[in-house]
Amino acid sequence: MPGPPRGLALSIVECQPYPKGRAGGVPGAMMAPMVTVALLSPLAYLLGTFPSAVLVARARGVDITAEGSGNPGASNVIRVLGWRIGALVLVLDFAKGAVAGGVGLAVAERPGAYVLGIAAVVGHTFPMLRKGGKGVAAAGGMLVVLFPVIVVALGVVWIAIAKGLRKASIASLVITVAFPVAVAVSGKAWWETALITVMAALVTLRHAGNIRRLIRHEEHDLVAGSTPPTRH
């Protein structure tokens, strides 16, 4: 039985969609969303710079950068102002990463979540004109969008270590090291493991002062109200 005419056969071939991963397929389809993500990146950075700890503490007459460890983060707020106020700061910092990562996921899937989420984490740790935080809560917010099960599991580990040793820095460093390992074991793409490893290195570097204090046995305990604030 003769096949279709040559011209018709070529037309049929030309109309076939490209398989995923080949030229003209998913990469081309992702181009426009990634352009949108690139345009949103400065806004994600600015979101990350929102000074949650500074504003919450200031509303209570406290300059959190001049109290306790001086770090504008949830752990220091807990030491100075107690668990309730510290939890509020934790939720706000967590939300910065989660909102940025969630928008990125909606716009350009997992690559978009990484770009906008990392932009928010960088904004949190390296804001303009003021001291930044350590990045643990903001990174956790971004990662809960991508790895909810791992985040919940390591969140339980953080609580157990922080409560048992009364050292938030040790708990944070443990889960920071564990996260890339968990992602690698979960079978995600190599580039995801690589990005998570880079983020873990950034957070670890932000804890350099904590590591030095731990070595000297001078690290602050995570005890609510252990550092009475100086009211301003």
The tens digit of pLDDT for each residue in 105-154 reads 999 999 999 999 999 999 999 998 888 888 899 999 999 999 999 999 99
| pTM confidence score | 0.81
pLDDT in the model for residue 6? 52
Tell me the mean pLDDT in the region 33-52. Answer: 95
Band of the pLDDT at 8, cuts 50, 70, 90? very low
pLDDT in the model for residue 4? 52
Range with lowest mean pLDDT among 97-106, 170-179, 183-192, 221-230: 221-230
pLDDT in the model for residue 228? 53
Band of the pLDDT at 19, cuts 50, 70, 90? very low
Show me where the domains of the chain are located: 28-215
Contacts 24+ apart (CB under 8 A), 174-182: 175/136, 176/136, 176/200, 176/203, 176/204, 176/207, 177/204, 178/154, 179/143, 179/150, 179/154, 182/147, 182/150, 182/153, 182/154
pLDDT in the model for residue 41? 97
Angle between helices 148-165 and 136-146 (to 10 degrees): 150
pLDDT in the model for residue 17? 46
- Answer yes or no: is pLDDT of 18 > 90: no
Q: Mark out the alpha helices in 82-207 (DSSP H runs).
A: 83-125, 136-146, 148-165, 168-185, 190-206
Percent of the chain with pLDDT over 70: 83
- Answer yes or no: is pLDDT of 38 > 90: yes
pLDDT in the model for residue 28? 59
**Three-state DSSP class for 231?**
strand
Cα 76 to Cα 122: distance, rounded to the nearest angstrom: 20
